[in-house]
Amino acid sequence: MDIDQRRVDATSGLLGRLGVLCDSGFALAVHIRYTRPTLLYRTYGPKWIEYYSKKGFMLSDPVVRWGLMNTGSIEWEALGSEDPEGVLTSAKAHGLRHGWTYSTGPATSRTISGLTRKKTEFSDADRAEIISIIDALHEVTDGFEKFSTKTQDALRALGSD
């Protein structure tokens, strides 16, 4: 089967717009099944990604934990008491400020995002647009396992570091 270019282009455009709104980066784990995302897109700086991985923070990240257990959105500040390993404090030290999380989808196929901005918090209009983008990404990638291998590879390549 050929590549579904419409789906790949839509995903690429949505990720691009999300990148503009999240000027210090984002992480988007799409369609998490059995604790593993089908697709992972990250635009955080490489120093933070390396530090996060080296410390094994995914296992204790309150953003991930909250997103797996809830749908909707929450400010990272509200998760401070659920962060004994200091993941969020470390994120701030790496320039990831004004963070919030949006989680959508059923527990069997959840999409979780960590979203940051440098200087100001996200406005209500920004949040509404971001929610719309993530919902659209969740929808356009639904059924990933049934896509052609070429389409799957192209979608994965959009998240290459």
Domains and CATH numbers, the chain: 5-155 (3.30.450.80)
Q: Could you tell me the pTM of the whole model?
A: 0.94
Instruction: State how far the Cα of 153 lies from the Cα of 159, in Å rounded to an integer.
Output: 10
CB 25 within 8 A of CB 96: yes
Cα separation, 8 vs 15, in Å, equals: 11
Average pLDDT per 10 consecutive residues for the chain, totaling 161 residues: 92 97 96 93 95 93 96 96 95 95 97 96 97 98 96 92 56
Q: According to the model, what pLDDT value does residue 161 have?
A: 56
Identity at 118, one-letter amino acid code: K
Q: Which two tokens stand for residue 64?
A: 């991930």
Q: Looking at residue 157, what is its pLDDT?
A: 95
Residue 7: name the closest of 159, 151, 153 by CA: 151
